[in-house]
Amino acid sequence: MEHPEQNPWQVTSVTDKYDNPWINVTEYQVINPSGNPGIYGKVHFKNLAIGILPLDDDMNTYLVGQYRFVLNEYSWEIPEGGGTIGTDPLEAAKRELLEETGLKASQWTELQRMHLSNSVSDELCIVYLARGLEQHEAEPEDTEQLIVKKLPFDDLYQMVRNGEITDSVTVCAVQKARLMQLENTL
């Protein structure tokens, strides 16, 4: 079955509800695909989401722990951050890896592109695999209180498998790397 090329939603009005340097929230009055009036909200992200799965030669990786304000809980994640839309996302990945862990990588592979919550947001995430690691000094932002933990990739995989890690970027990166490992392409 072919998917439709035309957008089945009709927009009758648009109202910006909120705007800051990182996001914009817009409310749409719509006619939905069944022909009924409705409302739709969209969160537009002004940056790309960037994730980095660092793997050293011994198959160790690095997690970053931090308290996530929105979740009101502590979270272990791969190094993550944002990149300006329209600039090279790999440069943002290199910057974030260095800022959060102090690591520099000589080999970079794009693992995955994904939309993080496509029912309410247009946020695009690009996840990279970083290899050929060298340790340098971390340069965290002043808003970040980070703990960096080195652990075997297999331990991280078990944490994801057991539901101990819920960050979607981390879950995706780890599962994709595990598939590549099983296919001998990692």
- Could you tell me the pTM of the whole model? 0.92
CB-CB neighbours of 23 under 10 Å: 14
pLDDT at 141 over 80: no
- Predicted confidence (pLDDT) per residue in 91-105, tens digit: 999 999 999 999 999
Q: Which CATH superfamily is domain 47-182 in?
A: Nucleoside Triphosphate Pyrophosphohydrolase (3.90.79.10)
* Residue ranges per structural domain of the chain: 10-45, 47-182
Whether 143 has a pLDDT exceeding 90, the answer reads no
Of 122, 135, 125, the closest CA to residue 173 belongs to 125
Helix or strand or coil: residue 186?
A: coil
pLDDT in tens, 35-81: 999 999 999 999 999 999 999 999 999 999 999 999 999 999 999 99
Joined tokens for residue 7: 């957008």
Assign 21 a pLDDT band (cuts: 50, 70, 90). Answer: very high
